[in-house]
């Protein structure tokens, strides 16, 4: 028994020594070797935005407004940095990130694994997947509730493809294609259809003004997150921690609800 105890102590000692000699140096390499002030010598967090994509960002007289603006300011404050918003065109979002023109991309971007070679995403803050909107008086609260109902959607959208597959799995329902999602939502408001299936962001924007009489159901997942360069793990850690603090203390939910209908951070 004593011998076994001695062996266990030896193993524990050598395990600690191995960690000290091998493991801790490895952890040290993973930690940011410089303070935030040294990482951001100008004291500024450069945030890429798309000012043509409300409610995330929109150009107004004197600057920008939108969800991305409020979140960018909150993140910079958490890091004790000033914030600089850099407007980008849709086609140049990821190029600006990869060429070090910005520190983070906060432009209503959705997690795109095709970018994974160069880009890392934060934890998602919202599910922008398809949402089914229907009147509370005749709410469709499950996927199978589509059966026997007339469903509006934008022609050629993700909802179009979803319903095409759903027709093969659910009892018959009537598809009602419209020119775009705005027109499909107008048809719902006018009582021409039982429900409308639209992109999550468009659905939440509509709910913001009509949520008193509508029920919403998320049918798919398409998460929105903050994009960063893959070669900056120290930045990933800073943004992750700052976003987590905003989530825990409720400020992230407040920002979301300020621009969208009761949108909750994604789990």
Q: For the segment 138-161, what is each residue's pLDDT rounded down to a tens digit?
A: 999 999 999 999 999 999 999 999
Domain assignments of the chain as residue spans, ordered by start: 36-127+223-259, 131-218
Q: Report the pLDDT value the prediction gives residue 40, as an integer from 0 to 100.
A: 87
Q: Report the pLDDT value the prediction gives residue 129, as an integer from 0 to 100.
A: 96
CATH class name, domain 36-127+223-259? alpha beta
One-letter-per-residue 3-state SS of the chain: CHHHHHHHHHHHHHHHHHHHHHHHHHHHHHCCCCCHHHHCCCCEEEEEECCEECCCEEEECCEEECHHHHHHHHHHHHCCCEEEEEECCHHHHHHHHHCCCCCEECCCCECCHHHCCCEEECCCCEECCCEEEEEHHHCCCCHHHHCCCEEEEECCCHHHHHHHHHCCCCCCCEEEEECCHHHHHHHHHCCCCCEEEECHHHHHHHHHHHCCCEEEEECCCCEECCEEECCCHHHHHHHHHHHHHHHHCCHHHHHHHHHCCCCCCCC
Q: Which of 226, 231, 224 is nearest to 75 (CA)?
A: 226
With a pLDDT cut of 70, the percent of the chain lying above it is: 85
Q: Report the pLDDT value the prediction gives residue 34, as an integer from 0 to 100.
A: 58
Do 36-127+223-259 and 131-218 agree at the fold level?
yes
Q: What is the mean pLDDT of residues 159-164?
A: 97
Q: Report the pLDDT value the prediction gives residue 62, as an integer from 0 to 100.
A: 87
Q: Cα dihedral angle (60, 121, 267, 237), rounded to 10 degrees?
A: -100
Residue 9 has pLDDT above 50, yes or no: no
Q: Which of 69, 20, 62 is nearest to 48 (CA)?
A: 69
How far is the C-alpha of 256 from the C-alpha of 55, rounded, in Å?
10
Residue 186 has pLDDT above 90, yes or no: yes
Q: What is the mean pLDDT of residues 96-117?
A: 95
Band of the pLDDT at 24, cuts 50, 70, 90? very low
Q: What is the pTM of this model?
A: 0.81
Considering the domain 131-218 in this protein, what is its CATH number? 3.40.190.10
């Amino acid at each position: 028994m004593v011998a076994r105890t001695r062996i266990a102590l030896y193993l524990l000692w050598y395990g600690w020594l191995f960690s000290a000699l091998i493991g801790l140096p490895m952890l040290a390499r993973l930690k940011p070797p410089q303070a935030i002030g040294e990482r951001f010598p100008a004291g500024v967090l450069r945030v890429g935005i798309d000012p043509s994509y409300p409610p995330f960002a929109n150009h107004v007289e004197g600057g920008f407004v939108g969800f991305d603006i409020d979140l960018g300011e909150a993140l910079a404050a958490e890091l004790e940095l000033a914030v600089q918003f850099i407007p980008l065109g849709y086609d140049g979002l990821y190029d600006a990130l990869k060429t070090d023109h910005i520190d983070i991309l906060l432009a209503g971007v959705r997690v795109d694994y095709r970018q994974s070679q160069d880009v890392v995403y934060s934890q998602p803050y919202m599910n922008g997947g398809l949402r089914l909107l229907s009147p509370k008086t005749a709410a469709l609260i499950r996927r199978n509730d589509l059966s026997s109902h007339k469903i509006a959607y934008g022609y050629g959208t993700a909802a179009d493809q979803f319903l095409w597959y759903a027709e093969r799995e659910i009892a018959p329902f009537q598809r009602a294609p419209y020119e775009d999602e705005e027109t499909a939502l107008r048809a719902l408001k006018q009582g021409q259809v039982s429900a409308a299936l639209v992109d999550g962001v468009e659905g939440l924007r509509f709910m913001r003004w009509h949520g008193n009489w509508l029920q919403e159901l998320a049918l798919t997942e398409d998460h929105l997150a903050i994009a960063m360069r893959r070669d900056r793990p120290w930045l990933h850690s800073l943004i992750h921690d700052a976003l987590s603090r905003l989530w825990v203390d409720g400020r992230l939910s407040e920002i979301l609800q300020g621009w969208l209908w009761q949108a909750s951070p994604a789990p």
